[in-house]
């Protein structure tokens, strides 16, 4: 899997999932980056057909998007596209660690929708 992740990717996340879940996450998703507010935003995509319904999912405070894979996979299995991203300063996105403001969060949501 290609990584475009502001240089912060590790395999640490795998300890929170079963080996089967790790395999499914890796096989079912791809990653890319978009820029929001001058910062690289890590995006994970679980894609079916372009016309399939799409679920947008970001994380709350004190976590990151991949931690929600157990919520994302059932949507993917049911035929939905899932778009998940890490907010600025969290997970594999760039920016000061834990420093995402409400304005940055709002702008990032807007940029993902575009």
Per-residue pLDDT of the chain (114 residues; tens, 9 = 90+): 344 444 445 777 888 899 999 999 999 999 999 999 999 999 999 999 889 999 999 887 767 788 888 999 999 999 999 999 988 888 888 888 877 888 988 999 899 888
Residue 93 has what pLDDT? 87
Measure Cα distances from 6 to 10, 17, 55, 61 in Å. 11, 23, 24, 19
Q: Does residue 6 fall inside a structural domain? A: no
Domain count, the chain: 1
Q: Does residue 32 fall inside a structural domain? A: yes
Q: Where are the beta strands (DSSP E) in the chain?
A: 29-36, 39-46, 54-58, 81-85
Q: Does residue 1 fall inside a structural domain? A: no
Pairing of strands 39-46, 29-36: antiparallel
Q: Does residue 78 fall inside a structural domain? A: yes
Residue 1 has what pLDDT? 37
Q: Does residue 61 fall inside a structural domain? A: yes
Q: Answer whether 88's CB lies under 8 Å from 94's CB.
A: yes
Q: 48 is in which domain, residue-wise? A: 12-113
Taking 3-state DSSP, the helix, strand and coil percentages for the chain, each rounded to the nearest 5, stand at: 35, 25, 40
> pTM (2 decimals)?
0.82
Measure Cα distances from 73 to 48, 54, 89 in Å. 12, 13, 24
Q: Does residue 92 fall inside a structural domain? A: yes
Q: Does residue 33 fall inside a structural domain? A: yes
Residue 113 has what pLDDT? 86
Q: Does residue 7 fall inside a structural domain? A: no
Q: At what angle do helices 19-28 and 69-77 cross, to 10 degrees?
A: 60
* CATH number of residue 74's parent domain: 3.40.50.1820
């Amino acid at each position: 899997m290609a990584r475009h992740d502001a240089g912060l990717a590790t395999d640490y996340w795998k300890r929170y999932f079963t080996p089967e879940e790790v395999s499914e996450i890796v096989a079912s998703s791809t990653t890319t980056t978009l820029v929001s507010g001058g910062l690289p935003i890590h995006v994970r995509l679980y894609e079916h057909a372009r016309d399939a319904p799409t679920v947008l999912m970001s994380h709350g405070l004190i976590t990151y998007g991949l931690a929600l894979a157990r919520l994302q996979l059932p949507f993917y299995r049911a035929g939905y596209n899932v778009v998940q991203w890490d907010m600025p300063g969290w997970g594999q996105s760039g920016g000061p660690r834990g420093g995402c403001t409400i304005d940055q969060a709002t702008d990032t949501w807007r940029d993902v929708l575009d």
